[in-house]
Structure 1
Amino acid sequence: MSSHRSPLDDGDLLAEIFLRLPPQPSSLPRASAVCKRWRLLVSDPRFLRRFRLHHRRNPPLLGRFVEKFSTLTFLPTMEAPNRVSPGRLSLQFDHGHFFEPLGCRHGLALISDQTRQQFLVWEPVTGDRHQLAVPPGFDPRTIPMVNGAVLRVAGDDHFQVVIVVISNYNTQHGQRVLACVYSSETGLWGDLISTPIPLEPNSVVSAIRDPAVLVGDSLYWQLIGFSTSILEFDFEKQSLAVIQVPVDESEYENNFKVIRADGGGLGFMFVSNFTAQLWERNIDCDGVASWVLGRTIELDKLLSLDSEVEDDILILGFAEENNMVFLWTESGSFMVQLQSLQFKKLSGFNTTKHYFTYESVYTAADIGGEHDGAELLHNA
């Protein structure tokens, strides 16, 4: 008699099935609990790498980072069984060490290490760290005034870092923005890229604010000064540009946030008098760009706020892959999904500091060990 093998006896086929499990942190620990064979498969480093790559463009929002007492503190947003322990993903610096988080993307965090005059690329899930020297042509003293972003190429573990800085800060000779790109594949910084900042007389840009938002092949930051504008870095063209916006919120910089628009292009969110305006940048067939006001959201009604008692609403952060915005009110902090308008009030640590959202695939590589895998299974 011929023996018949189950499809699940095929290790390659089983790996393809597991590869398509949801990217939530509890998925692989649950599979590992079935039997020893499954546990060995989903804990194999080669499989874990494939799993992260497969879900890199649709990661869950694990939480957000805030600066707190020489620590980059991780605050989870997910509920059990997917809630990741806060201590697992926090980063401790020496007392008195000066650092500035610049943003997170594709499972990596970029930090300006002002004490050591360098940049740190950190992968919170694995603990891997890469120290990058200041790009040639950048004055190390300007590191506190820089911004930047980190990203990975699709299907690759190599990363790129873009650093941007304002040149001729607060002078009468005009201002420029400089940019430089680092590739982990070559281990080198590229050439300096520069563009002038169009300004009104006697005005000045004082900062490149907030984590960048990746839209298509371009990164976008908010420029802070006497008027509001958006800085664009185009990867394909290796160029910088400054985009003007149709609202002026220079006195209320926490009421403005660059976002991905509903149509997938560049957008921004502007909050005034408890109403959020969602704007989108359109480009017509002749290549002419314009801003269009899309939806408006009455946040006081959505979040059941008393506008007679509450102060204004502040925007603390934006999670680009999950289209989630973080808001601060006198009643507490909220996270709001901009398409569905589903929201959640965040418990615990409440702050008016900026949030650095962390969207990543958390595989709990030590599944079944004494820490994350067992903890997630216990909470299931």
Structure 2
Amino acid sequence: MSTSCLLATAAIPRATSHLLSELPDTTPKVTGRLLQKGAGGHVLNSSSDGGDDGWLVLILRISAASSSSDPPLADYVLISNLSPSQVVQMIKRRPTSTLEPPPASLPDNEDILRDILLRLPPLPSSLPRASLVSKLWYRIVSDPGFRRRFRAHHHKAPPLLGFFSADFDDELETDLHVFTPTLRAPDRIPPARFSCPSKGSLLGFRHGLALLECGLKAIVWDPITNHQCSVDFPPEFNANRQMRIYFGAVMRDDSAGSNSFKLVMLFHTVFERTMYASVYESEVGKWGEIISTQTFSDIFKPSVMVGNKLYFLILYRSNGFLQFDLDNHSMAVIQMSKDIPITEGSDVQALRTQDGGLGFAVVSKHRMQLWGKTVISGDNVVRGELQKTIELDQLLSLRPSTDIDQSSVIGYDEVSNMIFIWTTMGVFMIQLESMKFTKVCEDTSIRGYFPFASFYPC
């Protein structure tokens, strides 16, 4: 019988790996250090990495056996953690005695291998681990062109690497920003890896870039490369500096190249409620026209980007958002409907919903309400539908009367939809779809968290 091969890729969760023992004896024999022969079939070695919650991702090369009475042989490589669970069906679909010979070059086809490797999760350990498999894999994943494709393939969902916490240092008279990783090993980034510029106020992150305001300058900082770009404010921003309060947002300009960015800066004076704004484009190297609108309060939190609009929370006498349209460089104040129950002591956070629309969370003591399906009327009033009510004391297993007498939102990542909730018992990170949470800090004195999502080290 002539030897023939077939290449496949699939994954199974470790928690369901016992199903492999139920396969018939005609199933291809799987060989390798992560699998061992078991009674009636082939079972996973429980001593391998990942724990019961992981996924085994396999690249299988199925070859016809030397004897027609033996099942085919399958060699494999474990490449990472992914989540399609089709390996059992894939093995069952393979003929066990009459494999059709594919083209001889199929197992070594680099285009197919690149497509497979592109689908690795965008975690820090994925490409380094893949590079250890062989010289071919190392060459592919080290190629700058492949890494650009990898980032482009996952551009909508860079991993949340951690967050920067802001705390004012009385001696230095400036904010200190310390990085705290949120991923587990082997993807955990050492805190010392990122050193935020010591001077300046951190205004927010987006697209892997940080924006800081320092004196009369805006600083755009890439924590991965440690590259900084300093941009002087427009002259109109500089008059009466002590009377001005600054806000802003930064975003990569993909249409102009990976190192290009757009910068939106806003300010108002202490004694007037006019908000001024201007846009800076790094490719042009200058600020655009300064525009203004009347508002009723300061901006309290970093912006949330929904479509091509930025939403800044404003609270005072009324509740609402300052909307900045990136297409036509215009501003508008959007007030929240009186039907939305916001009481004294409530905290509000703009959200980007799963369908790409505007939503918001209302947090009050031990309760969080999530609103979506919002509509902005012609009179600039936003209305929405209550989607979910979460009792934080029950979710976080805390006593409502004693452990959560106060809570607020101190951070939000619009990509992962992760919200940071401050309570008197510590700070919790909650994923708003799954409601999975992690206690990230016991320190209740820090009131500013800036989530940082990016590709590392791609």
In the superposition, the TM-score normalised over structure 2's length comes to: 0.69
Structure with greater Cα Rg: 2
Does residue 41 (structure 1) correspond to residue 140 (structure 2)? The answer is: yes
134, 145, 155: which is aligned to 2:245?
145
Does residue 226 (structure 1) correspond to residue 317 (structure 2)? The answer is: yes
Does residue 300 (structure 1) correspond to residue 393 (structure 2)? The answer is: yes
Distance 1:81 1:350 in 2: 28
Which residue in the other structure is 1:336 paired with?
430
The number of aligned residues is 343
Quote the offset at 1:277 in angstroms.
Answer: 1.4
Which residue in the other structure is 2:97 paired with?
none
Which ranges of structure 2 fall in alignment gaps of 5 or more residues?
1-102, 170-174
Maintained 8 Å contact 2:306/2:356? yes
Quote the offset at 1:119 in angstroms.
Answer: 0.8
Does residue 356 (structure 1) correspond to residue 455 (structure 2)? The answer is: no
Distance 2:151 2:108 in 1: 24
Q: How does 1:139-288 map to 2 (within 5 A)?
A: 139=238, 141=241, 145-154=245-254, 156-157=257-258, 158-167=260-269, 169-171=270-272, 175-197=273-295, 199=296, 205=297, 207-245=298-336, 246=338, 252=345, 255-280=347-372, 282-283=374-375
Distance 1:91 1:73 in 2: 7
Distance 2:355 2:141 in 1: 36
126, 130, 133: which is aligned to 1:27?
126
Maintained 8 Å contact 1:71/1:90? no
Distance 1:289 1:189 in 2: 31
Quote the offset at 1:75 in angstroms.
Answer: 0.7
Q: Counterpart of 2:190 in structure 1: which amino acid?
A: S
Which stretch shows the higher mean deviation, 52-61 or 134-143?
134-143
Quote the offset at 1:36 in angstroms.
Answer: 3.1
1:293 is paired with a residue whose SS is: strand
Distance 1:7 1:143 in 2: 68
Maintained 8 Å contact 2:345/2:364? no
Q: Counterpart of 1:293 in structure 2: which amino acid?
A: L
C-alpha change, 1:327 and 1:285, in structure 2 (3 Å) is closer
- Show CA shifts across 1:8-56 (max 9, x none): 6444543343222211111111101112332233233333333223322
Quote the offset at 1:153 in angstroms.
Answer: 3.6
2:210 is paired with a residue whose SS is: strand
Does residue 89 (structure 1) correspond to residue 183 (structure 2)? The answer is: no
Which ranges of structure 1 fall in alignment gaps of 5 or more residues?
200-204, 366-380
Quote the offset at 1:222 in angstroms.
Answer: 0.9
Which residue in the other structure is 2:407 paired with?
313
C-alpha change, 1:249 and 1:146, in structure 2 (3 Å) is farther
Q: Counterpart of 2:224 in structure 1: which amino acid?
A: V
C-alpha change, 1:164 and 1:293, in structure 2 (3 Å) is same
Distance 1:289 1:230 in 2: 9
2:289 is paired with a residue whose SS is: coil
Maintained 8 Å contact 1:271/1:277? yes
Which residue in the other structure is 1:109 paired with?
210
Distance 2:246 2:184 in 1: 35
Select the structure with the greater relative contact order (CA < 8 A; seq sep ≥ 6).
Answer: 1
- Show CA shifts across 1:284-340 (max 9, x none): 899985233332111111111111212211211111111111112222221111111
Does residue 346 (structure 1) correspond to residue 423 (structure 2)? The answer is: no
Maintained 8 Å contact 2:304/2:352? yes
C-alpha change, 1:5 and 1:128, in structure 2 (3 Å) is farther
Which residue in the other structure is 1:373 paired with?
none
1:211 is paired with a residue whose SS is: coil
51, 63, 69: which is aligned to 2:150?
51
Maintained 8 Å contact 1:227/1:248? no
Quote the offset at 1:122 in angstroms.
Answer: 0.8
Maintained 8 Å contact 1:261/1:267? yes
- Show CA shifts across 1:56-99 (max 9, x none): 21111111111245542111111112111111123242xxx4x1
Maintained 8 Å contact 1:269/1:277? yes
C-alpha change, 1:177 and 1:123, in structure 2 (3 Å) is same
Distance 1:186 1:76 in 2: 35
Which residue in the other structure is 1:75 paired with?
180
Distance 2:441 2:378 in 1: 49
C-alpha change, 1:137 and 1:8, in structure 2 (3 Å) is farther
Distance 1:285 1:276 in 2: 25
1:121 is paired with a residue whose SS is: strand
Quote the offset at 1:347 in angstroms.
Answer: 4.8
Distance 2:163 2:207 in 1: 14
Quote the offset at 1:251 in angstroms.
Answer: 5.1
Distance 2:277 2:262 in 1: 13
Maintained 8 Å contact 1:326/1:335? yes
Distance 1:227 1:319 in 2: 25
2:161 is paired with a residue whose SS is: strand
Which stretch shows the higher mean deviation, 352-361 or 10-19?
10-19
C-alpha change, 1:300 and 1:16, in structure 2 (3 Å) is same
Q: Counterpart of 1:268 in structure 2: which amino acid?
A: F
C-alpha change, 1:83 and 1:59, in structure 2 (3 Å) is same
2:149 is paired with a residue whose SS is: helix
Which stretch shows the higher mean deviation, 48-57 or 135-144?
135-144
Q: Counterpart of 1:354 in structure 2: which amino acid?
A: G
2:303 is paired with a residue whose SS is: strand
